[in-house]
Amino acid sequence: MIFSIVYVIMLNKITGRMLQDMKSHGCTLDCFGCCKLNVYVENNEIVKIEGDKNHPYTKGIMCEKGRNHLKRLSDKDRLYSPMKKENGKWTNISFEEAIDIIANKLKYYKEKYSSNSVMHYSESGSGSILKGIEDIFFNFYGGITKADGGTCWSAGTKAQKYDFGYNKSHFIDDVLNAKNIILWSKNPANSHIHLFHRIKKAKEKGAKIIVIDPIITDTANSADIHIRLIHLQMLLLLWQ
């Protein structure tokens, strides 16, 4: 979305006039949902954000985070610059100062303890092609310490390789061809609304939805069968 907004502002400056109600396609940040958003700009201010109903994947559906983009943009507590904590208080600093602080710290630890004293942990942010910049940066920095595994996609990747031998899966629309769908401790009604939309369509086509989860979730309430097991029972079922 940032790129689209910048494009609109630049165009306004070039033409010397304000574009009324200009619609611009946005891109989502730090999310695998890839929702296509339409951003309406008036007098260099975003006045409305909505999902693009013509998009073949997202169909104009937005999650709660997407629906609150506009509110977040105008929030009085929104951060516009880096902050530094000194003597228990936070103060605004420039991006240049923030980069200098980080660079000096990295330089200090590399010279005093070697680059291996720095640990790079990557389990957040966008999973897009830009994610590779982290590895490129630390390759130039020198040998570093990296965590093996993690609490986010590393666990899912490990499970995929253990169950199927390779970390690959079907395209999301293939769920429409399923006769039985098992959701194990998964709640796409809240965590993956675009997948859940297709699961509901698969159910309309006759697929049976089975949820294995100790918690009664929105997904579990929509299932044909909800199996509630405590964690030890789930482990025993897994090893059958």
Q: What sign for the dihedral angle of Cα 120, 139, 102, 117?
A: positive
Asked, for residue 156, whether it belongs to a domain, the answer is: no
Strand partners, 89: 86
Q: Is the pLDDT of residue 189 over 90?
A: yes
Length of the chain (residues): 240
> Domain total for the chain?
3
Domain that includes residue 105, residue range: 83-146
Judge whether 162 lies within some domain: no
Contacts of 90 by beta carbon, 8 Å cutoff, 6+ apart: 83, 84
Helix, strand, coil % over all residues of the chain, rounded to 5: 45, 20, 40
- The alpha carbon torsion through 28, 34, 39, 45 (nearest 10 deg) reads 0
Over the stretch 126-175, which tens digit does the pLDDT of each residue have? 665 566 788 889 999 988 998 877 766 777 778 888 888 887 777 888 99
- Kindly indicate the confidence band of residue 233, based on its pLDDT and cuts at 50, 70 and 90: confident
Kindly report, residue by residue over 5-59, the tens digit of the pLDDT.
433 433 344 344 444 465 655 555 656 677 788 888 888 888 888 888 888 778 8
Are residues 140 and 96 located together in one domain of the fold?
A: yes
127 token code pair: 């999973």
Same domain, yes or no, for 68 and 92?
Answer: no
